[in-house]
Homo-oligomer: A and B are copies of this chain.
């Protein structure tokens, strides 16, 4: 082979530990989550209502590494190590001296990086005696991962899916059902939270906040069910670091090292998964790497939000986290990267942005689809709308390299495929995809929902 394009590791190279950035954070430790009930730092007791002991350890621990249980590694090995590609065809199309790499998580059976944590959470819940999982999902990536993970451990799965997505993406529901899960549009009549919303607005399109309330209520009412969550939390971010650990070794195989690492960021687990192992290496004296978090311009949590304690859920049930937030009442405009529609972001991502270790940038949706199409036509893979955000910035950086005559190495996260998102591509080609302009009054009103502590 003249031009090597694929850097593949073996089964035995599936990481044995998850990496915890908290161990290498410079300065003060990460600010703790606060109890919604008491306003005091969240204790193990309160966390125990939400997750099994080992996940609590991973949520609040400061060890650098958490051992991956063998049954989890065994399932990871069905598709991991995920491939790292050199985008030579895209490089040629851009006529850039930059070396572009991407780590592809769409090879997981659910089509995204989400099973990296789904499998882990299912395992620990099963070990803790739970027989079923319950969760919420927006666009459906996380719901699919939960359904898959439950199937692998012989557990039931119940997924509350935001009604507007449920109706726009019927095949996500079908995929979950094929894995044996029950997928219910939210708001539903199955919970008090759902019934209250429906009483006020029988045609409510739902929101992730509402679906979260329904999932939490369902889990609270049935001790056999474990609540699992798809992003933002420290333990979820740690689980995703298998991505970056593999990428570190694969860059070695490529005899290269990234100058720039790019990832799309909603809750932040995809970006953290790829970038934290590189950031950790830098913090321990390794090479400097410029890390870019890409968010949608219509949900600019990192670029327009402020750092404050706020609720992760609209219903103000859950704990408060110190994070970049637009305010928990913020409802982002409908857009096709449903996985990036979050008013807040994982505290660890927020902290690294605050510490200027990660650089945030916001991009408009149509420019992302433009990049996604160019990527599909050169590299062949149809990217998920979320992933096109990373592609957009990778292309922009590669063009900058061309203009500056610099040959930098750019690594971005291709978090998933877009096989269930073709309606969005269709709209893009039809010219009916719009870039929402955020109303300043809406942003101000949402900001006012951030509690004054």
Contact B12 A78 (CB under 8 A): no
Contact B8 A10 (CB under 8 A): yes
Contact B380 A74 (CB under 8 A): no
A385 to chain B, nearest CB (A): 12
- Indicate whether A77 sits within 8 Å of B420 (C-beta atoms), given known contacts A109-B381, A179-B376, A180-B377: no
Which of B2, B85, B425 is within 8 Å of A178, CB to CB? B425
7 pairs, CB–CB < 8 Å, chain A vs chain B:
A4-B77, A5-B78, A109-B379, A151-B377, A175-B419, A178-B422, A178-B425
A:60-85 near B, CB below 8 Å: 70, 73-74, 77-79, 85
Total interface residues on A, CB under 8 Å, equals 50
What's the Cα separation between A381 and B75 when bound, in Å?
13
- Indicate whether A70 sits within 8 Å of B2 (C-beta atoms), given known contacts A381-B109, A419-B111, A419-B420: yes
One digit per residue, 1 when the CB lies within 8 angstroms of any chain B CB and 0 when it does not, for chain A 131-168 equals 00000000000000000100110000000000000000
Is A31's beta carbon under 8 Å from chain B?
no
| Cβ-closest chain B residue relative to A372 | B178
A:374-427 near B, CB below 8 Å: 376-382, 417, 419-420, 422-423, 425-426
- How many copies altogether? 2
Is A441's beta carbon under 8 Å from chain B?
no
Given contacts A3-B74, A151-B377, A178-B429, list 10 more A-B pairs with CB under 8 A. A5-B78, A6-B79, A109-B380, A109-B381, A109-B382, A110-B380, A151-B380, A174-B422, A179-B376, A419-B419
Contacts of A177 in B (CB 8 A): 425-426, 429
A:10-68 near B, CB below 8 Å: 10-12, 14
What's the Cα separation between A420 and B382 when bound, in Å?
13
